[in-house]
A and B are shown apart, each in its own frame.
Chain A
Amino acid sequence: TQLLEQSPQFLSIQEGENLTVYCNSSSVFSSLQWYRQEPGEGPVLLVTVVTGGEVKKLKRLTFQFGDARKDSSLHITAAQPGDTGLYLCAGGYHPNTGNQFYFGTGTSLTVIP
């Protein structure tokens, strides 16, 4: 059973387009992280959000944590080929039950030059 469902699973867009990736759950999380993974590498953290309704911006990337802390979105403006990769969300409970984060199913993004 996946606690976190991401959509879409695959996304292929032209350079310069905007896109949104969604991460949804029926569970309430204390914090949520977004990672990007490039081929042949491990995931790398992009952002952590901890407050319901929180919005964080990282250059062209905008992250939002839902008010109820059950969902999150990642919006990319004017996508570039360097944004290509697998995007993973991960939700954590605190105090940690088992000290772990639960990862989503992943969204594979391809930005075509």
Chain B
Amino acid sequence: DVKVTQSSRYLVKRTGEKVFLECVQDMDHENMFWYRQDPGLGLRLIYFSYDVKMKEKGDIPEGYSVSREKKERFSLILESASTNQTSMYLCASRPEGAAGEQFFGPGTRLTVL
């Protein structure tokens, strides 16, 4: 069974803290993505990576950074968490190919107090 796992299902942090969200996939996919999901806004892409050490900004990268040191692992970093970053964060991976299926992790619900 293909799998994308995320390090935490729920996380509570304080304003100004540095936050790390980890994502691991076991499908040897080239592409990995970080989204945030907010009611009425659907999924919005924060960053994606198409190869090790490569990263591209998505639609809402401000306040976030990412790291991909190994093919299977893609980390999202909130440099200084703010209350407007309270959200559901979803990681996904996808094989190379034009219309490939994205496989999602279960999500991390982050609350910033």
Contact = CB atoms under 8 A, between A and B. Distances in A.
Contacts of B90: 42-43
A9 B39 CA distance: 10
Interface in A90-113: 90, 92, 94-96, 98-106
Interface stretch (B42-50, B62-70, B72-80): B42-50
Given A42-B4, A42-B107, A44-B104, A33 B99 contact: yes
Interface residues of A, number: 31
Chain A contact surface mostly = loop
B56 interface: yes
Interface in B10-37: 31, 33, 35
Contact of A100 (B9, B45, B99): B45
Interface of A: 2, 4, 6, 9, 30-31, 33, 35, 40-45, 48, 50, 88, 90, 92, 94-96, 98-106
Interface of B: 4, 9, 31, 33, 35, 40-45, 48, 50, 56, 58, 90, 92, 98-99, 101-102, 104-107
12 contacts: A9-B40, A30-B99, A40-B9, A42-B4, A42-B90, A42-B106, A88-B42, A94-B99, A96-B98, A100-B58, A103-B42, A105-B40
